Amino acid sequence: MRQIREAWGSRFGFILAAAGSAVGLGNIWKFPYIAGENGGAAFVFVYLICIAIIGFPVLISEILIGRTTQKNPVGAFDALSHSKFWISIGFLGVIAGFMILSFYSVIGGWTLGYVGETLAGNLSNFHNPEEAGALFGQLVGSVTWGVGFHTLFFATVMFIVIRGVQGGIERSSKIMMPVLLFILIILIIRGVTLEGASRGLAFLWVPDWGKINGQSILIALGHAFFTLSLGMGAMLTYGSYMSKKDNVVSSAAQIVFLDTLIAIMAGVAIFSAVFASGLDPAAGPGLIFQTLPAVFSSMPGGVYFSFLFFLLMAIAALTSAISLLEVVVAYFVDERGWSRKGAALVFGGSIYLLGIPSALSFNVMSNMTLSGKTFFDIVDFLASNILLPFGGLMIAVFTGWIWSRTAVISSLKAGAEHLFEVFPAFEGIWLVFLKFVAPILITLVLLNSLGVL
């Protein structure tokens, strides 16, 4: 006998879990440093536009496909199209989940490791970012440290996913997301009350349009995708546990709102502190692990803020990582008849193993490169820059062109009747974005990743 499929306990639980998926290393680690490298406010502005015109419509579409079919990405495309081509698109999503989680867990492990280093008192006596950078190099250069914290991070992810949609994912998100917001508020208050913080705020609010070019627009567009967890069926899978009575459009709007709010809040907290210490906002990927520890060392009560900051990142990374594993687990549970626990252990275990060479890419395997890229870089590039935009493109095309228009619209309206009464044009606008705007812009991002543009 088939068991009843799992579902969220409430709409609020779904919003928190989905926002938990969206809010991750992308918001707290990546967004601030790419904004820093690409001119601050002007970049933030372009990013917000990308979120609105691409992220939001595609997010609605992913959640809708999931909610309509109540299935994982493979089963969902099968149910809606019965076509081998579309089934393989769903399958690519499962593969992307496999790949992204493998390296995501390595960085997630670093955040846990930094919580530990703070507690051990190792992060509080730097005089400049170079010293903090030297410790960072030493830590990630250690096989036991890198693989050890990858293991700890992954074990936590598996533990939550094994406990199920309601008992694991929803329950942990309901605890972790409020804690995350609370920590972020404390960090913002600390940041903006530092002397010299206003220069950091000006950096985020006063645009320097000279820094915007084709390249930075494509970076913003690609990031809009990654930060909303789009393009591989994570939101589709979370949508599949949603009730048909719930409003997809307003849920998507709330997820976008929370994700954007938290990215901006992280930017405010980080840039006010970085500028107050007179450090470089364009330090790149090392901004968080090298510049910030130097900032914390120089501020009163820095150890506590350092602890809170890395805990914040660890929480954000965990709630995102569980959504990646859930896609893979949902596929094996729905389509292949595995138990949740078996699928999480066997396939989670395989993803964990695939992550090991990524952890080793910062030490023993750092010289093994293919056209300058380590194993970590290759997996990241293939998944984030090729599979995700391609998946997002296919989701937009599927909803805009393949799925029967009457079926899409009646699905979309279910639970959102009120919205369509007050704003009947929404349907047409949404479809135009999915049919034309999103496919064209995503194709440009993809061509850029492939080096054609």
Residues within the interface to ligand TRP (CB under 6 A): 21-22, 24-27, 100, 226-227, 229, 231-232, 234, 320, 323-324, 388
- The least CB distance from residue 274 to ligand TRP, in Å, is 20
- AA letter at 370: L
CA–CA gap between residue 119 and residue 48 (Å, rounded): 37
Contact 174, 259 (CB under 8 A): no
- The least CB distance from residue 319 to ligand TRP, in Å, is 9
CA–CA gap between residue 106 and residue 28 (Å, rounded): 16
Task: List the Cα angle 437/429/18 in 5-degree steps.
Answer: 80
- The least CB distance from residue 270 to ligand TRP, in Å, is 15
- The least CB distance from residue 169 to ligand TRP, in Å, is 12
- The least CB distance from residue 278 to ligand TRP, in Å, is 29
Q: Which is nearer to ligand TRP, 227 or 448 (CB)?
A: 227
Contact 115, 311 (CB under 8 A): yes
Q: Which is nearer to ligand TRP, 27 or 277 (CB)?
A: 27
Q: Which is nearer to ligand TRP, 229 or 399 (CB)?
A: 229
CA–CA gap between residue 278 and residue 273 (Å, rounded): 9
Q: Which is nearer to ligand TRP, 248 or 263 (CB)?
A: 263
Q: Which is nearer to ligand TRP, 97 or 400 (CB)?
A: 97
Task: List the Cα angle 310/155/23 in 5-degree steps.
Answer: 45
Q: Which is nearer to ligand TRP, 100 or 139 (CB)?
A: 100
Quickly tell me which residue has 């009457």 as its tokens.
406
- The least CB distance from residue 299 to ligand TRP, in Å, is 26
Q: Which residues contact 278 (CB under 8 A, 6 or more apart)?
A: 196
Q: Which is nearer to ligand TRP, 58 or 276 (CB)?
A: 58
CA–CA gap between residue 111 and residue 309 (Å, rounded): 9
Q: Is 412 left (phi over 0), alpha (psi -120 to 50) or beta?
A: alpha
Q: Which two tokens stand for residue 136?
A: 């960072």
> DSSP of 80-105, one letter per residue?
HH--HHHHHHHHHHHHHHHHHHHHHH
Residue 342 forms beta bridges with which residues?
Answer: none
- The least CB distance from residue 97 to ligand TRP, in Å, is 7
